[in-house]
Amino acid sequence: MSMNTPLTLFDKVWAAHEVVQREDGEALLWVDRHFVHEGSFNAFSQLKARRACVAEPGRTFAVADHYVPTRGSRRVIDNPDIARMVRTLEENTSEHGITLFGLDDARQGIVHVVGPEQGLTLPGLLIVCGDSHTSTHGALGAYAFGIGASEVAHVLMTQTLWQRKPKRMRITVNGRLSSGIAAKDIVLAIIAKIGADGATGHAIEFCGPVIRALSMEGRLTLCNMSIEAGARSGMIAPDETAFAYVRGRPYAPKGPLFEQALEAWSALATDEGAEFDREVEIDAGEVAPIVTWGTSPQDALPIDARVPDPAREGDAARAKYLREALDYMALKPGTKLTDIAIDRIFIGSCTNARIEDLRAAAAVLTGRVSKVPGLVSPGSSAVKRQAEEEGLDRIFRAAGLEWGESGCSMCVGINGDVVPPGERCASTTNRNFRGRQGPGARTHLMSPAMVAAAAVTGRLADARPLLAGHRL
Amino acid sequence: MDKFIRLTATACPFDVANLNTDQLLPARFLKLPRSAGLGAVLLHDLRFDADGRERPDFPLNQPAWCDAKIVVGARNFGCGSSREAAVYALLDYGIRCVIAPSFGDIFGGNAVENGLLTATVSEAEVASLMRLLGEEPRLPVTIDLEQQTIKYSDKAFGFVIDPVRRTRLLNGWDSLALTASYMDKIAAFKTADRARRPWALPSCNAVRDGSGDRLNDAG
């Protein structure tokens, strides 16, 4: 590549981390930040088996999020298996000198909320974590992706990782976002358009006027769900919004170092004329509030649509897919989405539990009552404190919802907070897979405002009429 | 890690697109240590009903396929969560190879780290193999990683696998073995990078108490 070849944001961040480039196409990449959580115990076991130590404990940060209780007191964890998971993380991090944002720490929360919040996530960094939603951190212009336990062990031992360079995909969101449409609607529209494997093997860059206008919270939601289209990562070029977000955060560079960083970060944006392997464009003006009806995030439709009818599907494989999804979801073909009654709601997860998400849900719930039970689990303990300062917790409680603690909670259900079998849940989470929220649970994904609208109407509903006259 | 060179075995078809790792290993079993063996909970909620009884229509529960060492899957096999335990569960059950039109990115990486072969073939080839397995369930299927071919009945066709992953599987190498020869380069990179990007280190000024309280001063 000549000096003058225009480069993408992704190319630039990748190049800055190449320790070794082999002829077979594999590169050894330097890792700037490595996040671990309770689920990383398999990797620590591998270290123990090899009698190895952690190469860079100062670049490794641990958060207790996957298994921690999110309802009631957390001083004592009743379930011995879950208590053991949290304790094992404490032991492993203490043994290896890794900073832990544990249950008793004011900074505790979901790893993908905490990283950006604490200034650990910065533009231009390479970030990994044993969790597929690590793509979230790309919202700040980092190359961030999820890895498995063996790779976690490799990073712990060497602070590097072998990778083959993914292809580059640019998703441009043109036009203007209509009122009441959130980042979640954009990303569900994108996944519905390109499919759950539409970006497999690609690093996505999100561009266009709509992305530029998105808040940091919205960008984090968008990049978070890149993995649901199969992408290795999702990235957004760092700009004033990102710089302002990072400035002054606890682990962010300070003073002259921050000025030096700003200069480096400003040069990261994709060069004019840089080539992408694939281009996708969507018009934001055509994006309506979206909900999922099936068992993959790609099964997403505008709220005014009807559930698909396999009988009207010409392709036999597609018809089978629709039948199986509808069967699991207990939905009749052709049902209007707004006729689907729900049993409970969940507001939480690394996708949609930041302060802006809670405000959006609260705007719909203000002065209203939820027709179904539900749990609100803030994205981090800091988000929880902020929401309480703003009085959002009182709005949720007055609506009859439970105001919980921060953690992965009912998004993945491994802390015991699950949707009971056969129940239908409107959820701000990222995966409507079979049994994701608990065995037999039926999940409909949507934005926080749409979940709030589902709560107050007891069925899937358009949030926009409910927002009229309310402050967003 | 066990080498993978060639294998002749029974193949079990799973005609489910986007078969995600939450299906391969439901989250509530992630607490189990690997030493417990995860084969019994592979695909648990698809294999067993709510009362823990085998669902007779599920492929792995059929006598012809319960001892399969090969899985024939649909597109985007292993998408979703990064849980490597999904690969452990397949291996612990006895599966050594998955043939599918495409795989989840992270799943593919986890597979090679543990000696599970992911063989990519076209949608048409998967469909024809699945059809044949429906007619002749015990049909022996041979995967030859050296030749990069799949053979059954009188048919033979190639499959796609990343050449580096192929070499690693053939030799039973894990990635750490490879990295060990580059430790000096890593040390040199670290030093140079620190001078080039001093801002990339976590700031040491972070204070513990209440540091996460300022969330939104950026507007």
Report the relative pairing of strands A402-403 and A26-30 from DSSP bridges.
Answer: unpaired
In this structure, the number of other CB atoms found within 10 A of the CB of residue B131 comes to 12
pLDDT band at B36 (very low <50, low <70, confident <90, very high): confident
Question: Which is higher by pLDDT, B187 or B217?
Answer: B187
List strands edge to edge, sheet with A33-36. A99-101, A60-63, A33-36, A126-129, A143-146
Is B217 a domain residue? Answer: no
Domain final residue pick, A278, A305, A335:
A278
Whether residues B76 and A33 touch (CB distance < 8 A) is answered with no
Which amino acid would we find at residue A79? N
Q: What is the CATH number of the domain that holds B119?
A: 3.20.19.10
Alpha helices (runs of H) in A97-181, residue ranges in sequence order: 111-117, 149-158
Do A242 and A319 belong to one domain? no
Tally of domains within chain A: 2
**What's chain B's average pLDDT?**
92
Residue A186 is part of a domain; what is its CATH number? 3.30.499.10
CA distance A318 to A326: 12
Question: What Å distances lie between residue B214 and A15, A28, A121, A240, A355, CA to CA?
Answer: 33, 37, 16, 19, 12
Residues A348 and A417 in one domain: yes
Q: Which of A140, A194, A200, A254 to probe the B interface (max B CBs under 10 A)?
A: A200
A283, part of any domain: no
Which residue, A32, A210, A41, A25, is CA-closest to A123?
A: A32
Residues A323, A230 share a domain: no
* Residue B127, domain member (yes or no): yes
Flag whether A1 is in a domain.
no
What is the pLDDT, as a whole number, of residue A470?
A: 58
- Could you tell me if residue A472 is inside a domain? no
B181 at A interface, C-beta within 8 A? no
ipTM: 0.95
Cβ distance B176 to A157 less than 8 Å, yes or no, reads yes
**A285 within some domain:** no
CB contact A417 to B (< 8 Å) = no
In-domain check, residue B84: yes
Examine residue B15 and state whether it is found in any structural domain, yes or no: yes
| Domain limits for position B126 | 6-177
Give the structural domain span for A318: 290-467
- Place B178 in a pLDDT band, splitting at 50, 70 and 90: confident
Residues near A457 by beta carbon (within 8 Å), at least 6 away in sequence: A371
- Residue B45, domain member (yes or no): yes
Question: Helix B105-113 to helix B85-93 angle, to the nearest 10 degrees?
Answer: 50
Inform me whether the pLDDT recorded for B95 exceeds 50. Answer: yes
| Cβ neighbours, 10 Å, residue A222 | 29
List all residues of chain A from 202 to 241 with a beta carbon under 8 Å from chain B: 216, 227, 230-232
Query: Are the beta carbons of A81 and B109 separated by less than 8 Å?
Result: no
Q: Are strands B155-158 and B140-144 parallel, antiparallel or unpaired?
A: unpaired
**Tens of pLDDT, residue by residue, chain A (472 residues):** 556 799 999 999 999 999 999 988 899 999 999 999 999 999 999 999 999 999 999 999 999 999 999 998 888 899 999 999 999 999 999 999 999 999 999 999 999 999 999 999 999 999 999 999 999 999 999 999 999 999 999 999 999 999 999 999 999 999 999 999 999 999 999 999 999 999 999 999 999 999 999 999 999 999 999 999 999 999 999 999 999 999 999 999 999 999 999 999 999 999 999 999 999 999 999 999 999 999 999 999 999 999 999 999 999 999 999 999 999 999 999 999 999 999 999 999 999 999 999 999 999 999 999 999 999 999 999 999 999 999 999 999 999 999 999 999 999 999 999 999 999 999 999 999 999 999 999 999 999 999 999 999 999 999 999 987 655 4
Inform me whether the pLDDT recorded for B147 exceeds 60: yes
Residue A2's pLDDT is what?
Answer: 57
CB contact under 8 A, A81 and B183: no
Q: Which residues pair with A168 in a beta bridge?
A: A203
- For residues A97 and A127, membership in a common domain is answered with yes
A234 with A350, same domain? no
Identify whether B115 is part of a domain.
yes
- The closest CB to that of A251, out of B80, B203, B210, belongs to B203
Closest residue of chain A to B185, computed from CA coordinates: A19
* Phi and psi based region of residue A267 (left: phi greater than 0; alpha: psi -120 to 50; beta: remaining): alpha
- Residue ending a domain, among A278, A313, A337, is A278
Residue B91 lies in a domain: yes
> What integer pLDDT is reported at residue B207 of this predicted model?
45
Backbone angles phi, psi at A460, to 5 degrees: -65, 135
Q: Testing the interface with A: which of B44, B87, B114, B199 to mutate, by most A Cβ within 10 A?
A: B199
**Average pLDDT of B196-213?**
68
Q: Amino acid identity, residue A260?
A: Q
**pLDDT surpasses 50 at B215:** no
Judgement on whether residues A268 and A306 belong to the same structural domain of the protein: no
* B33 within a domain of the structure (yes/no): yes
**Is A272 in the same domain as A345?**
no
Rounded to 10 degrees, what is the CA torsion of A311, A312, A314, A317? Answer: -50
Going by pLDDT thresholds of 50, 70 and 90, the confidence category of residue B174 is confident
pLDDT in tens, B48-75: 999 999 999 999 999 999 999 999 999 9
**DSSP bridge pairs for B97:** B70, B117
pLDDT band at B204; cut points 50, 70, 90 = confident
Q: Closest approach of chain B CAs to the CA of A457, in angstroms?
A: 31
User: What is the model's pTM?
Assistant: 0.96
Q: How many CB pairs under 8 A join A and B?
A: 224
Burial of B105 (0-12, 13-18, 19+ CB in 10 A): buried
Domain-terminating residue out of A278, A306, A340: A278
The minimum CA-CA distance between B29 and chain A, rounded to whole Å, is: 9
Shortest alpha-carbon distance between residue A311 and chain B (Å): 19
Residues A273 and A315 in one domain: no
**Cα(A141)–Cα(A242) distance, integer angstroms:** 8
Residue A3: inside a domain: no
If one counts the domains in chain B, the total is 1
Residue ranges in A231-281 assigned as alpha helix (H)? 240-246, 255-266
